[in-house]
Structure 1
């Protein structure tokens, strides 16, 4: 390595008064903080941006939650005012036409519509009303329409009743599945009457079996379900015919043959027992002995 003599190093040097040298300016505290922030942002910019974004989201969510109740109340108030305005303008529901109902009361349909005195035709929810009416027990199909300025029309089709079911002292009208579709108000007295627990579920099968032997239906007032296992036929004369658990159709055909040949149902009998396949047992009506009276 080449040696440089001190004389050569200081060859161009000249004496300087230290007091004339420039003094560096001191940085203010704000500048120092700004420099530190810039240095941190360069090194950790992604993490800082994520932190700011999360904080902003939290602040926004807090503000929305704090304001949702006043906003909801304001929307509700505006809706109420709008309803009243539409009603005052002549758009309130004025006439409701209901057709097709027999088992379902008009009041039940009106309640399901949900129409209040200040309900406007414009705001009336047709689909919601249709769904509520469709849930009524006797309703099969329903159509709801609104006609401006002030009419609502409801047209229903009810389920087809097949029998009356008396249980616990109340008589219901039932459909083919055995479901209750309304109370019997006397309009369905021509339908077969079934009695007892479980009678509704099996009513249609028994009614269909009886349809093949019309000669056994005259004077028949009720079909009584016994222990939810078999049927008794009850006539207006007090005669009771006891049917078997199995082979009901065959027992009815046999009874129809006896009726045609011997007029068995017109005999002075209390009971005809068909529960045993190969036997027809009868119990005569008990008569009081006039000598004992």
Structure 2
């Protein structure tokens, strides 16, 4: 019996070997193998090292110590503060709200937050903070300019031309140069009040102030208890009309308590009690003379 010959070996690669060879021919796979794996190893090594709590704490302590050494260097220290602009009172308020304890490192100064704190002061319109060479913190402020004194529920307050609060006022006599407005809601109508005050310049010697009535309209208050009652709309035109009439007839020099312009089409005069009696007496005399 003849011996059976060994079957011929199949030269074709196995399915697994074929897939591996195809994968090896892929450029992305080769880059990932030769570059990605070493990079992953380098990333994983520090992660494993930092997994220990004691090592992390030691590193944190060293970083904090290094930061302290840097921020406390003389070239980074701020030793004083200067304030440009504003009154002495405002400067004192700024120093109080910032409450800085010098020397302090410039790294510990949050200039943006400090600027917000300064601008929250009523008297500050704008502020700018920066650290100057030589360790000087410079605060440049633009102060609000008071335009009127408002007598409100909280007492006397100085307001700027937009009605923003500037400062509290203890006594009216402390700022006689500023016009007086009063009444609830008067602070919200300061621009209109200033326009009326400017129009009342011919009566400035007698003008005592403006009173906001019902948060809707103004009364112009003069000496001798006289008032000009203005309408809700067209107040400026009505006031100019009263001033023109007074210029022609000296109306406000008479015993008039009020000039009511709330209805511009029907102005009304309110006479003092004595003037009313005198007017009645004159009318009786005129009536008797006509009968005779």
TM-score by length of 2: 0.64
| Aligned CA distance change for structure 1 residues 252 and 97 (closer, same or farther; 3 Å) | same
1:162 and 2:147 are equivalent in the alignment: yes
2:235 is aligned, of 248, 255, 263, to 248
Q: Specify the alignment match of 1:200 in structure 2.
A: 187
Conserved? CA contact 1:91–1:149, under 8 Å: no
Q: Specify the alignment match of 1:282 in structure 2.
A: 269
Structure with greater proportional helix content: 2
Q: Please give the alpha-carbon distance, in whole angstroms, between the structure 1 residues aligned to 2:51 and 2:213.
A: 66
Q: Specify the alignment match of 1:146 in structure 2.
A: 131
Greater Rg over alpha carbons, structure: 1
TM-score by length of 1: 0.64
Q: Please give the alpha-carbon distance, in whole angstroms, between the structure 2 residues aligned to 1:280 and 1:229.
A: 19
Which structure 2 residues correspond to residues 117-156 of structure 1 after superposition, within 5 A?
Answer: 117-120=102-105, 124-156=109-141
Give the alignment's Cα RMSD to 1 decimal.
Answer: 4.4
- The 3-state SS of whatever aligns with 1:211 is helix
Q: Please give the alpha-carbon distance, in whole angstroms, between the structure 2 residues aligned to 1:69 and 1:238.
A: 81
Query: Which runs of no fewer than 5 residues in structure 1 stay unpaired?
Result: 1-5, 11-41, 288-293
Q: Specify the alignment match of 1:99 in structure 2.
A: 84
Conserved? CA contact 2:78–2:136, under 8 Å: yes
Query: Which runs of no fewer than 5 residues in structure 2 stay unpaired?
Result: 5-19, 21-28, 34-39, 275-292
- The 3-state SS of whatever aligns with 2:105 is coil
2:202 is aligned, of 211, 215, 224, to 215
| Aligned CA distance change for structure 1 residues 75 and 279 (closer, same or farther; 3 Å) | farther
Shift of 1:80: 5.3
Q: Please give the alpha-carbon distance, in whole angstroms, between the structure 2 residues aligned to 1:243 and 1:103.
A: 40
- The 3-state SS of whatever aligns with 1:9 is coil
Conserved? CA contact 2:90–2:123, under 8 Å: no
Q: Specify the alignment match of 2:3 in structure 1.
A: 9
| Aligned CA distance change for structure 1 residues 125 and 246 (closer, same or farther; 3 Å) | closer
| Aligned CA distance change for structure 1 residues 154 and 81 (closer, same or farther; 3 Å) | same
- The 3-state SS of whatever aligns with 1:249 is helix
